[in-house]
């Protein structure tokens, strides 16, 4: 398992790095591919619970948010936010009020926001002045935080951190992730973003919070469904959703800091 994780990481990290460096269409394609694959996994997982949110509407909604993030000058967002609940609930009307219609409608909306709007903030952050550096901080900080939690928890973890959500996570791993994540962000933010110590510590705290809770949030979805991974797409890592779950919380928090001019 560990060897597969390392090989997959060795392949994916350079691809992510190159797309991040070039930005523009390359980064848009990367984020879109990850988000749409994660959406496919999410919709498939919902069908495990016998809910049947529309694949077409779910994927189209995610694609809409990504396109709006790439070309914000088109001003599509207000129209999309107005049409999404109307179209999705109208779909249930024309479907004839089938069983679980309400849950299906809610899951479609939730999936669009979770896997469309939040990944769109990756694209918006990259487009900001110094956005590439903010993303480097977010990506490296999250990966180091997650890796420290994984390896320390695996080697020395004994006390369960969130047994009802993710049984293998331990307090030892969580503390290691917290320390490494904070230190990594403080060093990276001071170097790449020229932030003061106070702002760097805040960024580190937000990153650790986002990485930890983002991972657990996806675990809630998987535990409700009764699966270990969102798919087996990436050897040793699970699915696309498993790989971006922490970043879905981290990058929006970093975007808020960057957009506020910290």
What is the predicted pLDDT for the residue at 2? 61
Structure tokens at 242: 């498993």
Angle (nearest 5°) at CA 179 between 152 and 11: 60
Q: Containing H/E element for 122?
A: helix 118-127
Query: Is residue 261 within 8 Å of 195, Cβ to Cβ?
Result: no
* pLDDT tens for each residue of the chain, 262 residues long: 566 667 777 888 999 999 999 999 999 999 999 999 999 999 999 988 888 888 999 999 999 999 999 999 999 999 999 999 999 999 999 988 888 899 999 999 999 999 999 999 999 999 999 999 999 999 999 999 999 999 999 899 889 998 899 988 999 999 999 999 999 999 999 999 999 999 999 999 999 999 999 999 999 999 999 888 898 887 767 899 999 999 999 999 999 999 998 7
Angle (nearest 5°) at CA 167 between 109 and 231: 50
> Computed from CA positions of residues 150, 247, 217, 67, in that sequence, does the dihedral angle turn out positive or negative?
negative
Give the global pTM.
0.94
Question: Which residues is 234 bridged to in the sheet?
Answer: 238
What is the predicted pLDDT for the residue at 70? 98
Structure tokens at 35: 């988000």
What is the predicted pLDDT for the residue at 119? 98
Residue 41 has φ and ψ, to the nearest 5°, of -65, -45
What is the predicted pLDDT for the residue at 1? 55
Q: What is the dihedral of CA 3, 8, 9, 14, to 10 degrees?
A: 140
d(CA 246, CA 166): 14
What is the predicted pLDDT for the residue at 229? 87
């Amino acid at each position: 398992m560990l060897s597969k994780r390392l090989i997959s990481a060795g392949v994916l990290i350079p691809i992510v790095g190159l797309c991040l460096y070039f930005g523009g269409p390359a980064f848009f394609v990367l984020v879109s591919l990850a988000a749409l694959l994660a959406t496919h996994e999410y919709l498939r997982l919902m069908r495990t619970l016998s809910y049947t949110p529309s694949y077409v509407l779910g994927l189209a909604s995610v694609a809409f948010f990504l396109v709006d993030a790439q070309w914000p000058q088109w001003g599509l967002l207000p129209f999309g936010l107005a049409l999404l609940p109307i179209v999705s609930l109208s779909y249930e009307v024309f479907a004839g009020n089938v069983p679980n219609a309400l849950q299906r409608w809610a899951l479609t909306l939730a999936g669009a926001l979770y896997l469309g709007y939040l990944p769109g903030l990756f694209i918006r952050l990259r487009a900001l002045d110094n956005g590439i550096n903010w993303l480097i901080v977010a990506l490296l900080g999250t990966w180091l935080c997650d890796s420290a939690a994984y390896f320390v928890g695996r080697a020395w973890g004994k006390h369960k951190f969130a047994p009802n959500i993710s049984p293998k996570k331990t307090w030892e791993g969580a503390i290691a992730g917290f320390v490494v994540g904070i230190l990594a962000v403080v060093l990276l933010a001071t170097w790449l973003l020229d932030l003061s110590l106070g702002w760097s510590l805040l960024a580190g705290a937000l990153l650790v919070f986002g990485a930890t809770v983002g991972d657990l949030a996806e675990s809630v979805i998987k535990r409700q469904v009764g699966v270990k991974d969102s798919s087996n797409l990436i050897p040793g890592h699970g699915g696309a959703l498993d790989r971006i779950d922490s970043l879905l919380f981290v990058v929006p928090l970093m975007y808020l800091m960057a957009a506020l001019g910290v």
